[in-house]
Amino acid sequence: MCFQNYATSQAFARAFKATAGASASQLRSDAAAIDTLLEVLQKPRRVEGEPSNSLDIEVVSLDPFRLLAIRNTGDYDELNAGYAKLFELVLQQVEPSDLRGIYGIPHDDPRITPESECRFDCALATGAVGQPLGDLKVVHVLGGEYIRLRRTGSYDALHDSIDLVYAFAIGVLSREVAQEPLLFHYLDDPEEIEDEEELRADIFLPLAAEG
C-alpha cells in the first residue's frame, strides 16, 4: 500500500477511520459498513458552515499525457501566485489554443506537514508543445486505472475530499494504490464562474495494476 500523501501509515489509518467510520480491515469484513461508506461517497457531503458539496466517484482508465509544471512550496490555500507564474512562463512559448487543461499535484498532507513546507506542482497540459525552460519541468502522467472523484464546490476545500478517495480504494474496492501521487484536474476557470460552489474538479488516485 502507498501512503503518498501521508507522513506515516498510522496517519493514513487515522484519516481513513475518521472518514469511513471503521478501519480498512473492518470494512472488508462488514458489508453494512461498506454500505454506509458508499452512502457517504454517493451523497452530497456537507462541511459545517459551508453549502453541501456534490461528489461523484468511479474507476476510470486514463491514457498517458504530459504536463508542464512548476513546484510551489507553501500554504496550499495560497496557490494563485504559483499558477500565475506558471501561465506566464508557459504562454511565453505556447499559444493559448494549445492549453488542454489545468492540473495540480499535491505531494504533502497539510494536516501533518507544516504549511510552509507543503509541496505542490502547478501544472498545465499542453500536449507535445512547450519545453521545460527556467522553472518549468515536464511531468509525465502514467496511463492506467484511476479512481476519479468529481467534486463540485470551492477549490480551496478540494483537499477535504482526498480521504474519501483513499477510503473508496481500500475499503470498498480492496485495491492497492500506485506509487504515483494524486492528480487534481480543475475543470472550470474561477474567473468565469461567479459562484465558487459551482466549480468542478476531479481528483484522480492511481491504482496499482491487479495481478
| pLDDT mean over 151-166 | 85
Dihedral pair phi/psi, residue 197, rounded to 5°: -75, -5
Which residue did the predictor score with more confidence, 190 or 143? 143
Kindly provide the b/e burial profile for residues 140-164, where b requires at least 16 CB atoms within 10 angstroms of the residue's own CB: ebeeebbbbbbbbbbbebbbbbbbb
Per this entry, what is the length of the chain? 211
Does residue 72 surpass a pLDDT of 70? yes
128-131 long-range contacts, Cβ below 8 Å, gap at least 24?
Answer: 128/66, 129/93, 129/94, 129/98, 130/68, 130/90, 130/93, 130/94, 130/98, 131/93
**CA distance linking residue 183 with residue 206, whole number of Å:** 8
* Annotation: CATH topology of 9-61+142-206: Multidrug-efflux Transporter 1 Regulator Bmrr; Chain A (3.20.80)
CA distances from 80 to 76, 84, 134 (A): 9, 6, 19
- Which residue intervals of the chain are DSSP H helices? 9-20, 24-28, 31-42, 80-90, 162-167
pLDDT band at residue 39 using 50, 70 and 90 as cut-offs:
low
Percentages of the chain per state (helix, strand, coil), in multiples of 5: 35, 30, 40
Q: Please report which confidence band the pLDDT of residue 19 belongs to, taking 50, 70 and 90 as the band edges.
A: low
Q: How confident is the model at residue 181 (pLDDT cuts 50, 70, 90)?
A: very high
Cα end-to-end span (Å), the chain: 14
Band (pLDDT 50/70/90 cuts) for residue 40 is low
What is the reported pTM?
A: 0.77
